[in-house]
Amino acid sequence: MTQDTTQELDSEVSSKADVKPELPENVRVRFCPSPTGTPHVGMVRTALFNWAEARHTKGTFVFRIEDTDAQRDSQESYDQILEALRWLGLTWDEGIDVGGPHGPYRQSERTEIYKDVAAKLLDAGFAYESFSTPEEIEARNAAAGRPKAFGYDGFDRNLSEEQKEAFRAEGRKPAIRIKMPDENISFNDLIRGEIEFKAGSVPDYVIVRPNGDPLYTLTNPVDDAMMDINVVLRGEDLLSSTPRQIVLYRYLMELGIAKQVPLFGHMPYVMGEGKKKLSKRDPESNLFLHRENGFIREGLLNYLAGLGWSISADRDVFTMEEMIENFDVRDVKANPAHFDLDKAIAINAEHIRMLEPDDFLRRSIPYLFKDGAVSAENWDELTDRERQILTDSVGLVQPRVRLLGEVSGMVASLLSEEEYIEPEADARKQLKDSAAEVLDMAVATMAEIPAEEFKAEHVHEVLTAELVEKAGIKPRLAFGPVRVAVSGRRVSPPLFESMEILGKDLSIARLAELRKHLD
């Protein structure tokens, strides 16, 4: 659905827009992605809002897969969707790998169900065979003075049996279309309020292709009906298909297949750069890229929860437990939400600081291993020295990183046993003409400190007295070269605490080596 369509729909929201419907007593929601690509943030937000509504109402969260598009679906994407939900902790009560009374939960395993329902819709007169080709539909529209792309004109609704047989004799195979009633279709959206589609604005639509393949327009409502889904929370891009589904639910109720027409809530678009809808191809959209960069699930979920919903007007950071306690889909805003990567990172930083130190370290190890900073991919296989340094430095690092991907830059120099750390480009630019003299003085001063007294506070006091107070060097020029020598970086964990972790000998060696490289 286009932005223009959304604006047209906005004009149809009645004065009852603020009177949202009551939720059913036993909420049953579902998440039903198609395995056609890498999981993206829009998909995850849909899963999150459904999960949160189920948990808030103590309802049921159903997870199924819509995999009837053999040309686009892939096993890799299917596996990635499961991996994404499990990493994020969005557990489901019924569905894929869990089972339940309404299986199977993959559409590719439900083909016979769809054939049976389509046949019943035909027999009851709710659907009909349609032999028109796209070219014929366009030609009839043009002949009637309508735009060619106006859509289907209902030509096949009242074909006689003789006409149908004549088409079959030509080798044509029919699609199956649903008869749309000649009446306005309205519903009270959980997010947008009252919405009405005028009679005739939605043409009869195809539910089964001429080759017999069922379409989303059939499989999705049938699955919802048979799985007793009573609340459908989905993206705003599907809003234009809602009148079709409402009509089909009514027919399914007539056939005894559905118990009710579910309540609908259409979540706002997530917008990217330039006020455009966030595309699957946008880097900000890629869930696993965010994980690779060091987002933790708590931070990412917190940020995504704020794309259309808020826990309060003056609060951005909250836990998933707090979201569950407060979430009500009827509080979601209809306006598009903008994905702001800087804000997402800032919220993630807050959640990193909320982690227990041991949890923070264990989550950081895969990133450190990937960057070559440690010898193993998990905590238990690290060397004693690595574990000790990480334990000693966690209080210096955890408050200063925003993403787990930044941990390596902070602790790699502490974990390294090298005497020379090659300065990064921006750090080297900080070295002024006085750097060599400063390093010489620092080495001489530090050499006089007994090893057992080589503690952060004492080293700070001694170097300050010698370099700043006695030599009259400004602190920035006095300690900048020392920081570059110790860490190779312009920004690092606290300098003197880092030197204490490294120890006297390695700290002095690094200052001396940088001094040599300045010649």
Helix and strand numbers (H, E) in the chain are: 21, 12
3-class state of residue 120 by DSSP = helix
Token pair, residue 207, equals 């539910």
Q: pTM of the entire structure?
A: 0.91
Please answer whether residues 267 and 332 qualify as being in contact, where contact means their C-beta atoms are separated by less than 8 angstroms: yes
Bond before 39 cis per omega within 30 degrees: no
474 is an active site residue: no
Indicate which residue of 120, 277, 280, 333 is catalytic.
280
How would you write the pLDDT of the chain (519 residues) with one tens digit per residue?
333 344 334 433 333 456 889 999 999 999 999 999 899 999 999 999 999 999 999 999 999 999 988 788 899 999 999 999 999 999 999 999 999 999 999 999 999 999 999 999 999 999 999 999 999 999 998 998 888 878 899 999 999 999 999 999 999 999 999 999 999 999 999 999 999 999 989 999 999 999 999 999 999 999 999 999 999 999 999 999 999 999 999 999 999 999 999 999 999 999 887 778 887 778 888 999 999 999 999 999 999 999 999 999 999 999 999 999 999 999 999 999 999 999 999 999 999 999 999 999 999 999 999 999 999 999 999 999 999 999 999 999 999 999 999 999 999 999 999 999 999 999 999 899 999 999 999 999 999 999 999 999 999 999 999 999 999 999 999 999 999 999 999 989 999 999 999 999 999 999 999 999 997
Task: Tell me the binding residues.
Answer: 280
CB 337 within 8 A of CB 270: yes
Query: Which residues make Cβ contacts (< 8 Å) with residue 5, sequence separation at least 6?
Result: 239, 240
Which of 263, 240, 333, 344 is CA-nearest to residue 302?
344
CA dist 165 and 157 (Å) reads 15
**Kind and range of the H or E element at 29?**
strand 28-31
- Length in residues, the chain: 519
Which residues does the annotation place in the binding site for ATP? 280
Q: Domains in the chain, start-ordered, CATH in brackets?
A: 109-267 (3.90.800.10), 283-353 (1.10.1160.10), 356-408 (1.10.8), 425-517 (1.10.10.350)
Dihedral (CA of 471, 474, 480, 483) sign: positive
